[in-house]
Amino acid sequence: MRRSGRPRGPAGWRAVFGVPLAVGAATLAGLLAALLHEGAGGVAAWAALGLPLALIAWHVGRAYLPRNRPARRT
């Protein structure tokens, strides 16, 4: 069910590939930080490389865990 009366046009490339490119760039930065830096670079690497895993866990949790929503009355 669409909320507006206007038809949706084709999505731009940023709407389709924006988030995957950002996650990929963060992962690449984490890999480079792990290879090239010590100390704080290790912390940045753990954070950047944990981002895809956190996103996967969030999506799996949304898909499989029950939601606490009240029943809709019709």
State the pLDDT at residue 35. Answer: 92
Structurally, the chain folds into a number of domains equal to 1
State the pLDDT at residue 5. Answer: 62
pLDDT 10s digits, 37-48: 888 888 989 999
Band of the pLDDT at 28, cuts 50, 70, 90? very high
Rounded CA-CA distance 39/8 in Å is 48
Does residue 19 belong to any structural domain of this protein?
A: no
Contacts of residue 33, Cβ cutoff 8 Å, sequence gap at least 6: 41, 42, 44, 45, 48
DSSP letter (8 states) at residue 39: T
State the pLDDT at residue 68. Answer: 72
Range of the domain at 36: 24-64
Does residue 28 belong to any structural domain of this protein?
A: yes
- Whether the per-residue pLDDT at 57 is higher than 90: the answer is yes
Does residue 56 belong to any structural domain of this protein?
A: yes
Q: pTM score, two decimals?
A: 0.67
